[in-house]
Amino acid sequence: MLRLGRREFGPHEPVIMAIVNRTPDSFYDRGATFRDEPALARVEQAAAEGAAIIDIGGVKAGPGEEVTAEEEARRTVGFVAEVRRRFPEVIISVDTWRAEVGAAVCEAGADLLNDAWGGVDPGLAAVAARYGVGLVCTHAGGAKPRTRPHRVEYDDVMADVLDVTVGLAERALALGVPRESIMIDPGHDFGKNTRHSLEATRRLDEMVATGWPVLVSLSNKDFVGETLDRPVKERVVGTLATTAVSAWLGAQVYRVHEVAETRQVLDMVAAIAGWREPAVARRGLA
């Protein structure tokens, strides 16, 4: 059972996490949701299309201008409070690696802290425990926040992913984060080259076998672009193919830009696997 905010999800119930970037320079939307009203409209649309979680980020993952903790909080805290007020049933996640920002957004109503940089600030898990919120434990290969990988090597990339993410999850549990609210994430592209991310996808069932719910953040990433030689705006098909494979292998939570398309892919995989009934079944029965 996965429990986040007011919601509970069964073991074969896929969950969509919609991305809402509160940054002027995000790699995909180029600041489309930096201002409040477009961002709130994005939340409303994502929820209507089937997203259970809204993931709010105040700093883009890649290199760029420095964003202080104060500026990150300015971009996220008030927005979290407004989303909480307008959309009380939505699960609010905040993508941050900083404990001080994590505490501020939890005070504002966040339900989940998405630590995409693999515990670089060990205080973030303690914040999640203090507020009783969920935590995403990610493998980033030891990379510093907002850096790109350079000639990264692993003897066995999945062995490293398992060692790091399960270790972070067990530490979070020991600190008091609710077990049913902890997820692990292989960290596609974070501290990895394209071949590493492909192997992590291919072996995703090994993460699922740990018993911790698995989150994947695949949406329009560089490993998809390099695999198909496609620019950022032409990676949706590759992303959805990777989503289908991840779903078949047992991932549960999907951090995405395209909510409606992802919902169809996940519903189709669930129906093929026998976890979901077809929405309509008239063929050959009339």
Residues tagged active-site: 221, 255
Range 198-227 burial, b when 16+ CB lie within 10 A, else e: bbbbebbebbbeeebbbbbbbbbbbbbbbb
In DSSP terms, 20 is beta-bridged to 56
Cβ proximity of 27 and 219 under 8 Å:
no
- CA–CA distances in Å: residue 72 to residues 23, 61, 155: 9, 13, 36
What single letter denotes the amino acid at residue 42? R
Measured distance CA(84)–CA(20) in Å, rounded: 14
At residue 113, the 3 state secondary structure works out as: strand
**Are the CB atoms for 136 and 116 separated by under 8 Å?**
yes
CA Rg value for the chain: 18
Per the structure block, which two tokens stand in for 102?
């994590």
Contacts of 161 (CB under 8 A, 6+ apart): 139, 186, 187, 200, 207
